[in-house]
Structure formats: C-alpha cells, structure tokens
Amino acid sequence: MLTEKGYQCEYPEAQPFAICLTHDIDTVYRPIHSKSLEILSALKNRDFTRAGRIVPQLRSKKCPEWNFKGIAALEESYGASSSFYFLALDKGDRDCTYAIEDLEQEMCTLLDGGWEIGLHGGCEAYRDFEQLQREKRRLEKVLNQTVNGYRNHFLRFRVPDTWELLERAGFRYDTTLGYPDCTGFRNGMCHPFRPFNINTSREMTILEIPLAIMDRTLLSFMRLNMEQAWTQTERLLDTVERHNGVLTILWHNTFMTGAPLQFYRKILEYGHEKGAWMTSCKEIEAWWQKSGMQPP
C-alpha cells in the first residue's frame, strides 16, 4: 500500500482528507406530470408557498430543473464547493436534452460564486476526438473561458485512449474512472494519479481523480435502502480518512429532492464534522499540481 511506503498527502489547513463533490447535469427539464405530482404533494402537506412557486412552470412545455443555486447554497453552508459538468451537445445528438446556451446565466452565477463548470462529454466523445473538441469549444464559447475538467456521460471510458484524447484536447484532469454498478476504487487507490500510458511507456500529464460513489449506484444499481447506502458511504469515508485520501462523489441535480437530498446533506454534515476538505475537482487538481504530490 502507498501509505505503508510513506506516501503522505497534506491538504490546506492540515485537513485530514478530501471529499471531492461533483454533479453531472444530464437533464435540466422535468416532465409536466412530475411537476403536477409535486404540486399535489405540496398541497397535501399544506405547503401552499411551494405549490405556488411550481404552478407558473406548468404553462411551459419545459419545466426547468435549475436547482444549481440551491445546491451551491447548501454546500456553502458547510464550507464546501463543487464541480458541475454540463453536456454541450448539438440538437439531434444522442442524449441531447438541453441547449447549453440556455444555461449561460445559471453557469456564470456558479462561476462567480467560486464553483467549477466542466464538460460532461457525450456518449461517443470518449473515443471521438473531433466530437470531444467540438463539445469543449461550444461550452467554452458560452462561458468565455477555458474548460479544464471532464467526465464522460454514462462513465464511458477506454484505457488509455480516452486519456490520450483528453490530453490532446487540452484538459487538465478527468474524473470518469469509476464503477457505475458498485461503489469503490476502480484503480485500487483513493488518491488522484497521473496515468501511465502503456502505448507510449510514459507518464501522462493529465490527472485522473477517480470516482468512488454515485447516487444512482447506491440507490438504483445496487438497490440499497437509505440505511444500507449510508453504511457503504460511511465505510468509504472512514477508509479515505485513514489513508489521507480523496473521495470523489457524484450526486446528480435530479437527486436533490426528498430522501436523496437529505442523504447528500448527511454526507456534507459528516465531512464537516470530520474536518474534511470538501471542494471541487478544479481545486484538487490545482493542489496536486502545486504540491507536486506523486506516489513514491
């Protein structure tokens, strides 16, 4: 194990470990019927204010799921920040559910607050350089700044080919490498690393920040109830704390209601109590670059 060989990570203000918070934005609109059900639920609970906020949205065929400010406010209340990965697909592309241009104001608000915007690559971007480059340029045009972070849709990845494409496209880090159907460390370690390219026999410049926990993994693929899901999550948090590592968590914006929202809040509470550095992938990458941390 790296820690047994003397590998020791140090974080800002001597924080014992890091929790890297991320959100993939797969969709920003909800079906009208789901809003109707939410109104009925609010009325049943005599929450007339909430119901009143939702009613005007029914006039549009597109009901926005633009809860980014709420997510950021929740994280900020625990001294945390995070990364948001947006799709930048063309109309007609597979899995194109929104136009990135519609979200310019929302994304700029996040950037102004200190949160990160990265690219959520389309289904084929992980193996198609032209597609990857086109999506990156489109997002950068909307933001009017360089995009350095990446995660592919559906966690699709090809080793080492995707890393090579990301390097060529100018990304500084990737955070795709993880299991969609179970939690844990796909590469066997809880620290970011620079991949070794078996095709060229050299260390790559891009940093991989592995993914360990995803909301859909816990609650859909593994079919865990909330208590079981927390047992898994707490075990991973404690493991990473023991090894001064980084635990990367993916929580979609569509999982920010009801019990899943409370579960995410519990993660923030736990990390805050432990004194963890809860931050974005951008900050993790910058810290690794500044500190020059590499396994022995």
Task: Reply yes or no on whether the pLDDT at 3 is more than 70.
Answer: no
* C-alpha–C-alpha distance, residues 172 and 152, integer Å: 14
211, 178 Cβ separation under 8 angstroms: yes
| Predicted TM-score of the model (pTM) | 0.89
- Which domains are seen in the chain, by residue range? 3-28+69-291 (3.20.20.370), 30-64 (no CATH)
pLDDT band at residue 173 under the 50/70/90 scheme: very high
What are the helix (H) ranges across the chain? 32-44, 48-54, 68-76, 104-113, 129-143, 161-169, 215-216, 226-242, 258-274, 281-291
b/e burial code for range 185-197 (CB count within 10 A of at least 16 → b): bbeebbbbbbbeb
Q: What is the pLDDT of residue 296?
A: 45
* C-alpha–C-alpha distance, residues 202 and 35, integer Å: 52
Q: What is the pLDDT of residue 13?
A: 92
Torsion 184-167-80-294 (CA) sign: positive
202, 196 Cβ separation under 8 angstroms: yes
pLDDT band at residue 196 under the 50/70/90 scheme: very high
User: pLDDT higher for 268 or 94?
Assistant: 268
Q: What is the pLDDT of residue 29?
A: 85
CA distances from 200 to 132, 176, 225 (A): 22, 22, 45
The one-character DSSP state at 89 is P
For the chain, the residue count is 296
Task: Reply yes or no on whether the pLDDT at 60 is more than 80.
Answer: no
Give mean pLDDT, residues 229-251: 97
* C-alpha–C-alpha distance, residues 279 and 20, integer Å: 5
Give the range among 7-21, 55-69, 200-214 with minimum mean pLDDT: 55-69
Which pair of structure tokens corresponds to residue 59? 């006039």
CA angle 166, 167, 168 (to 5 degrees): 90
Q: What is the pLDDT of residue 45?
A: 72
Give mean pLDDT, residues 128-135: 98
Q: What is the pLDDT of residue 251?
A: 98
